[in-house]
Amino acid sequence: MSRRQLLGRIGLAAGGTMMYQAMTSLGFAAESGYKGPVQLEGSPRGASVLVLGAGLAGMTTAFELRKAGYQVRILEYNARPGGRNWTLRGGDTYTELGGQTQHCGFDEGLYINPGPWRIPHHHRAVLAYCKQFNVPLESFVQVNYNAFLHNTEAFGGKPQRFREIDADYKGQVSELLAKATAQGALDQQVTKQDQELLLESLRSWGALDRNMAYVAGDDSNLRRGYAKYPGGGLGGKPELSTPLSLEDVLRSRLWKQLAAGTNIEMQTSMFQPVGGMDQLGKAFARALGPGVIQYNARVTGIDQDEHGVTVTYEDTGAPGSTHTATADWCVCTIPFSVLSRIPVKVGPAMADAITKLPYASSVKVGLQFKRRFWEEDEAIYGGISYTNLPISNISYPSTGFHAPGKGVLLGAYVWGLDAFDFTSHSPAERVRRTVAYGSQIHPQYPKEFDNGISVAWHRVPGNHGCFGTWTEDLRAQHYQAACQIDGRIAMAGEHISYIPAWQEGAVLSAHDVIGRLHAKVMATGGRA
Q: Which domains occur in the chain, in start order? A: 88-116+360-459 (3.90.660.10), 161-257 (1.20.1440.240)
Where does 374-487 show beta strands of DSSP type E?
Answer: 384-387, 393-395, 407-415, 449-456
**CB distance 506 to 284 below 8 Å:** no
Q: Which of 521, 503, 511, 96 is nearest to 277 (CA)?
A: 503
Q: What is the 3-state secondary structure (H, E, C) of 451-465?
A: EEEEEEHHHCCCCCC
pLDDT of residue 9: 54
Report d(CA 197, CA 177) in Å as an integer: 13
In one-letter notation, the amino acid at residue 393 is N
Res 125 pLDDT > 80: yes
User: pLDDT grade, residue 64 (50/70/90)?
Assistant: very high
Report d(CA 232, CA 69) in Å as an integer: 69
User: pLDDT grade, residue 6 (50/70/90)?
Assistant: low
Q: Per-residue pLDDT averaged across 462-483, rounded?
A: 97
Q: Per-residue pLDDT averaged across 176-194, rounded?
A: 93
Segment 268-288, tens digit of pLDDT: 999 999 999 999 999 999 999
Q: What are phi and psi of 393, to 5 degrees?
A: -155, 165
CA-based R_g, the chain, Å:
26
**CB distance 261 to 383 below 8 Å:** no
Report d(CA 231, CA 222) in Å as an integer: 15
pLDDT of residue 31: 56
The secondary structure of 266-306 as a DSSP string is: TPSPEEEETT-THHHHHHHHHHH-TTSEE-SEEEEEEEE-S
Could you tell me which residue, 19 or 343, shows the higher pLDDT? 343
Where does 295-448 show beta strands of DSSP type E?
Answer: 297-304, 309-315, 323-327, 329-332, 362-369, 384-387, 393-395, 407-415
Does this model's pTM top 0.85?
Answer: yes
Where does 53-100 show beta strands of DSSP type E?
Answer: 71-75, 88-89, 93-95
Cα end-to-end distance, the chain, whole Å = 53
Prior bond of 321 cis (ω within 30°) = no
pLDDT of residue 527: 57
Report d(CA 372, CA 175) in Å as an integer: 39
Q: Which of 120, 181, 194 is nearest to 503 (CA)?
A: 120
pLDDT of residue 33: 77
Segment 355-366, tens digit of pLDDT: 999 999 999 999
Q: Per-residue pLDDT averaged across 459-470, rounded?
A: 97
pLDDT of residue 434: 98
**CB distance 487 to 496 below 8 Å:** no
pLDDT of residue 35: 81
Question: How do 48-52 and 71-75 pair as beta strands?
Answer: parallel
Helices (H), 54-185: 56-67, 124-132, 162-182
Three-class DSSP category at 106:
coil
Question: How do 407-415 and 48-52 pair as beta strands?
Answer: unpaired
Q: Per-residue pLDDT averaged across 75-102, rounded?
A: 98
Q: Per-residue pLDDT averaged across 316-341, rounded?
A: 96
- Other CB atoms closer than 10 Å to residue 218's CB: what's the count? 12
In one-letter notation, the amino acid at residue 147 is A
Report d(CA 279, CA 523) in Å as an integer: 37
Which DSSP category does 228 fall into? B
Report d(CA 111, CA 105) in Å as an integer: 10
pLDDT of residue 11: 47
Res 16 pLDDT > 60: no
Taken in order 316, 318, 321, 323, the sign of the CA dihedral is negative
Res 5 pLDDT > 60: no
Q: Per-residue pLDDT averaged across 147-170, rounded?
A: 98
Could you tell me which residue, 23 or 329, shows the higher pLDDT? 329
In one-letter notation, the amino acid at residue 81 is P
Taken in order 376, 380, 381, 382, the sign of the CA dihedral is negative
Res 310 pLDDT > 60: yes
Helices 16-25 and 3-14 pack at an angle, to 10 degrees, of 150
User: pLDDT grade, residue 22 (50/70/90)?
Assistant: low
pLDDT of residue 21: 46
**CB distance 410 to 112 below 8 Å:** yes
pLDDT of residue 524: 84
Mean pLDDT of the chain: 93
Q: Per-residue pLDDT averaged across 482-511, rounded?
A: 97
Res 405 pLDDT > 70: yes
Which DSSP category does 478 fall into? I
Q: For the chain, give the number of residues.
A: 528
User: pLDDT grade, residue 525 (50/70/90)?
Assistant: confident
416 dihedral zone (left: phi>0; alpha: psi -120 to 50; beta): left
Q: What is the 3-state secondary structure (H, E, C) of 123-140?
A: CHHHHHHHHHCCCCEEEC
- Other CB atoms closer than 10 Å to residue 292's CB: what's the count? 18
Burial of 267 (0-12, 13-18, 19+ CB in 10 A): middle
Q: What are phi and psi of 103, to 5 degrees?
A: -115, 115
Res 181 pLDDT > 80: yes
Q: Per-residue pLDDT averaged across 6-28, rounded?
A: 46
